[in-house]
Structure 1
Amino acid sequence: MITPPAAALDSLDGLAFGDRWFGILRREGTAALEARTLPPEPLWRWSDDTAQAAVLVRELAEGGGDVDQDRLALRIAARMPAHTSVRHAANVLGSGYRMSGPDTAPYALWCAAGHLDDLHEGLWTTGAGRGDIDTTCAIAGGVIAARTGTGALPPTWHAAREPLPPLTS
């Protein structure tokens, strides 16, 4: 067992901000995104992107920096609620339908590269591209926050974002 590096924990924290916050904005519509209107919910719950990343960080910590692929897959599957539909499970866990993320990762990394010292602006810029906003913002948020941390984000964002799960047992 190892303690996850601070940059890994900051990355997970930034990923969680991008994951759910911009998913809410996507639901609220493009006008809210363009006006940079904050989500109305008092608690910004993250989704599968953050859940899977948290499982990976925990696996890395408990595996001493190594990942046991079978154990990781079982842990991710175990995080799925009992009422999860087959279609959602296939989408989250992978069914072989999509082989890569060529329309997601390059854009998210491009946005992150342009805002390596400003997580706040990086998230807004990434969200402006629309598309799969929660995933692209989760990727960009994770990359930028690994460098900057999340301390510069507004306190209201920290108060609203759902806490991350325990990463070590």
Structure 2
Amino acid sequence: MAPTTVEADPAAARRSLEALALGDAFGERWFPLFRAPRQAYNEVRARRTPPEPVWNWTDDTALARALHQVLDECGEVVQDRLALSFALAFDADRARGYGHGMHMLLPQLLTSPGDWRTLAPGLFEGGSLGNGAAMRVAPLGARFHRDVGHAAGQAARQAEVTHAHPEGIAGAVAVAVAAALAVRGEFTLDEVVARTPAGSVREGLARAAGLPFDTEPWRAADLLGNGSRIRADDTVPFALWTAARHRDDLEAALWATAEGFGDVDTTCAITGGIVGAAAGVGGVPDEWLRRREPLN
């Protein structure tokens, strides 16, 4: 397959990836593994920086890096190559917090990458509608921001490798579109709704578009979902709402997203990837960047 003729922006993609990884590692600090629920709530509300000296990122970043590498090498989503890249990332470090579906799928793709075509649709009786395809895709949207329709199509292609369910694909499309629009200075929730396939994700985004930005983030998470169900329609609307609420301020966006708790590394990764696509990571405290695990 010949590389795409759409002009890419690798610098925007890298900005988004750096911010996605920061959001992922920052959000991971608030899981019960590190904090009791009341302690986590108090620390987030007080905007108290997590004290751990190293903030490791999770599968969100591992798979975003794998996708980023394939796009650097191929210029577009080559699905069999991407399947192998995902499998290699999983095989290199299975302790990144991968979901159950990826534990079933990715080891099989290590030796037969092309088998995603039959294996991915068979996950959970119709394919996964989880948030995994959405959590990794913001840098792709940033890369192809000059053609938002192309970004949406590429987002769908990368989603199909692991998340064949229409809602899993729609979540990825919505995040990629948001990141592309963010780089263009055109990001609004209404614009994302208009470009997202019909279904539960789009309905959740429409609710988010009608939710005032003066709503407390914890309340918004109650209304929109916070990823605790590990579904795209329970994750993407809130993450995009906080990204739109703080589109020029990555630090504020991540704190607000953390207030929603739930699958907080994933919501923060999505929010970070969108806001950082335009704003970068330059506005966050230096200690955050020093503590975040390097991307290499």
TM over 0.5: yes
> Is residue 119 of structure 1 aligned with residue 250 of structure 2?
yes
After superposition, where does 1:52-131 map in structure 2 within 5 Å?
52-63=63-74, 65-81=75-91, 84=94, 88=98, 90-92=100-102, 96-97=123-124, 98-99=128-129, 100=168, 101-131=232-262
Q: What is the RMSD computed on CA atoms of the aligned residues?
A: 2.4
Deviation by residue 1:44-90 (Cα, 9 ceiling, x = unmatched): 11110001111111100100x211111111111111246748x9464
**Relative to structure 1, is the Cα distance of residues 132 and 149 closer, same or farther in structure 2, using a 3 angstrom cutoff?**
same
Residue 42 to residue 108, structure 1, CA distance change in 2 (3 Å)? same
Q: 1:30 to 1:92 in 2, by over 3 A?
A: farther
Give unpaired runs (5+ residues) of structure 1. none
2:58 aligned partner, one-letter code: S
Describe the SS at the equivalent of 1:79. helix
Query: Aligned runs of 1:27-46 on 2, under 5 Å?
Result: 27=32, 28=35, 29-46=40-57
1:162 maps to a residue whose letter is E
Conserved 8 A contact 1:26-1:33: no
- Structure 1 residue 91: deviation in Å? 3.5
Structure number with higher relative contact order (C-alpha < 8 Å, ≥ 6 residues apart): 1
Normalized per residue, which structure has more helix?
Answer: 2
Q: Deviations over 1:124-149 (max 9, x none)?
A: 11111111100000000000000101
Distance 1:77 1:33, change over 3 A: same
Stretches of 4+ aligned residues off by more than 6 angstroms: none
Taking structure 1 as reference, are residues 62 and 17 closer, same or farther at Cα in structure 2, changes over 3 Å only?
Answer: same
Q: Which of these two proteins has the greater Rg computed from alpha carbons? A: 2
Q: Which runs of 5+ in 2 are unaligned?
A: 106-119, 130-167, 169-231
Identity %: 44
In structure 2, relative to structure 1, the CA distance for the partners of 1:89 and 1:70 (3 Å cut) is farther
| Equivalent residue in structure 1 for 2:268, among 105, 112, 137 | 137
1:17 corresponds to which of 19, 22, 33: 22
Q: Give the corresponding residue for 2:160.
A: none
Structure 2 length-normalised TM: 0.51
Work out the CA distance in 1 between the residues paired with 2:275 and 2:98. 28
Residue number among 273, 277, 288 corresponding to 1:146 in the alignment: 277
Aligned counterparts of 2:20 and 2:14: Cα–Cα separation in 1? 10
Q: Which moved more, 1:136-145 or 1:2-11?
A: 2-11
* Amino acid of the structure 1 residue aligned with 2:27: F
Q: How far is 1:17 from its partner?
A: 0.9
TM normalised by structure 1 equals 0.86
Structure 2 distance, partners of 1:163, 1:80, is 18
- The one-letter amino acid paired with 2:279 is T
